[in-house]
Chain A
Amino acid sequence: GESVGLHLPTLSVQEGDNSIINCAYSNSASDYFIWYKQESGKGPQFIIDIRSNMDKRQGQRVTVLLNKTVKHLSLQIAATQPGDSAVYFCAENAGGTSYGKLTFGQGTILTVHP
């Protein structure tokens, strides 16, 4: 729906801390989830993905956790760095006839203080 005037959730952390960004999704039929990082004025950058048959996946400094029971997704960033400052979006793929179409969450602004 329309979200004019909506303020994105924000997370401020100190450099070196771990960050956890959360996302609630709505479609129980979604079978594929992705986290993207978007810096100001740029397109989204793929971070990590996870399929619905998994509950955890790890990458370099990042971990994604999926809880299908409560339809919740989280992104953990270890040893957060100033370069991690950006807006983070989760996205879901419903599969079926919607295969390939992504629905994006509202986003979270991460600010890392040196």
Chain B
Amino acid sequence: GAVVSQHPSWVICKSGTSVKIECRSLDFQATTMFWYRQFPKQSLMLMATSNEGSKATYEQGVEKDKFLINHASLTLSTLTVTSAHPEDSSFYICSARDLRLGSTDTQYFGPGTRLTVL
């Protein structure tokens, strides 16, 4: 149980285009999902916290108009990178919290999405 999927697993796009990444909790309901970005050889950096039915909370320095987050259901959150540029190329990872389990603090991570902007 507690499986999180992401789609696509990788995407290549041209500069200026927008890319949508989906994060799904497959076998549990997640009221909260988190979006992270990871550059090569670096750690995960939290971008935003996505709460079902409400606006996302962005970390300092993350442009909310560039990284649009929607969490319309308890099993799906989406991250849209708008007007992507080469510097947005990164590994984007989502995580979700499973409220069924006794430990509500545990976050389960998706497999990540590799974005390359040409």
Min CB distance B35 to A, Å, is 12
Rounded to whole angstroms, the CA-CA distance of A46 and B112 in the bound complex is 15
Within 8 A of A (CB), among B79-112: 93, 95, 97, 103, 105-112
Rounded to whole angstroms, the CA-CA distance of A4 and B87 in the bound complex is 13
Rounded to whole angstroms, the CA-CA distance of A8 and B39 in the bound complex is 13
Q: Establish whether residues B105 and A49, one from each chain, have CB atoms under 8 Å apart when the complex forms.
A: yes
Interface size class of B (residues with CB under 8 A): 20 to 34
Q: Which residues on A are within 8 Å of B, measured CB to CB? A: 3-4, 6-8, 32, 34, 36, 41-46, 49, 89, 93, 100-107
Q: Establish whether residues A32 and B109, one from each chain, have CB atoms under 8 Å apart when the complex forms.
A: no
Q: Establish whether residues B106 and A49, one from each chain, have CB atoms under 8 Å apart when the complex forms.
A: yes
Within 8 A of A (CB), among B24-67: 32, 34, 39, 41-46, 49
Q: Establish whether residues A100 and B109, one from each chain, have CB atoms under 8 Å apart when the complex forms.
A: no
Q: Establish whether residues A46 and B41, one from each chain, have CB atoms under 8 Å apart when the complex forms.
A: no
* B114 close to A (CB within 8 Å): yes
Rounded to whole angstroms, the CA-CA distance of A3 and B97 in the bound complex is 28
Q: Establish whether residues A101 and B114, one from each chain, have CB atoms under 8 Å apart when the complex forms.
A: no
Q: Which of A4, A34, A101, A106 contacts B43 (CB 8 A)?
A: A106
Q: Which residue of A lies closest to B104 (CB)?
A: A100
Q: Establish whether residues A105 and B105, one from each chain, have CB atoms under 8 Å apart when the complex forms.
A: no
Q: Establish whether residues A44 and B32, one from each chain, have CB atoms under 8 Å apart when the complex forms.
A: no
Q: Establish whether residues A89 and B111, one from each chain, have CB atoms under 8 Å apart when the complex forms.
A: no
